[in-house]
């Protein structure tokens, strides 16, 4: 009788352990799968940030090119606002020109800040 009970308990214990081992292997497999998915998502995000940074750098180059010719045109408009017959219109144009370049400078600063932020994110993701 004791042998039968011992045998039943042993069989029960072995079946529980074998089931537990299968369950552990499935859990490890699912954790590994989730980890691989997270790595893939992180890589996608990294590519997205890299593309966004490249786009912002292109925009920044274009904006800086527009800013370079500013001084000559600005000086000419100031002289024309003093000398020409239609001074008021030149002054209005000069004022609009100043507003445009203020917005241009703000746009450049925003893009430079965004590029710096993306570079920081990419350096963190590369580690």
| pLDDT tens profile 68-93 | 877 777 777 777 777 766 777 777 88
Number of Cβ atoms within 10 Å of the Cβ of 4: 8
pLDDT one-digit tens code per residue, 13-23: 666 656 666 66
Domains of the chain: 2-126 (1.10.287.1700)
pLDDT at 111: 92
pLDDT at 30: 85
Burial state string for 54-93 with b = 16 or more CB within 10 A and e = fewer than 16: eebeeebeeeeeeeeeeeeeeeebeebbeeeeeeeebeee
Using only the alpha carbons of the chain, give its radius of gyration: 34
Q: Which of these ranges, 58-62, 92-96, 108-112, has the smallest mean pLDDT?
A: 92-96
When the pLDDT of each residue in the chain is averaged and rounded to a whole number, the result is: 81
Number of Cβ atoms within 10 Å of the Cβ of 111: 19
């Amino acid at each position: 009788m004791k042998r039968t009970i011992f045998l039943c308990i042993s069989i029960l214990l072995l079946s529980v352990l074998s089931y537990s081992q299968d369950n552990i292997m499935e859990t490890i497999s699912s954790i590994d799968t989730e980890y691989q998915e997270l790595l893939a998502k992180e890589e996608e995000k990294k590519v997205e940030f890299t593309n966004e940074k490249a786009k912002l750098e292109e925009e920044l180059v274009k904006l800086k090119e527009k800013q370079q010719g500013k001084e000559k045109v600005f000086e000419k408009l100031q002289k024309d606002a003093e000398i020409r017959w239609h001074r008021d219109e030149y002054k209005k144009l000069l004022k609009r020109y100043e507003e445009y370049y203020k917005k241009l400078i703000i746009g450049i600063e925003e893009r430079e800040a965004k590029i710096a932020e993306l570079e920081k994110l990419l350096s963190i993701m590369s580690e």
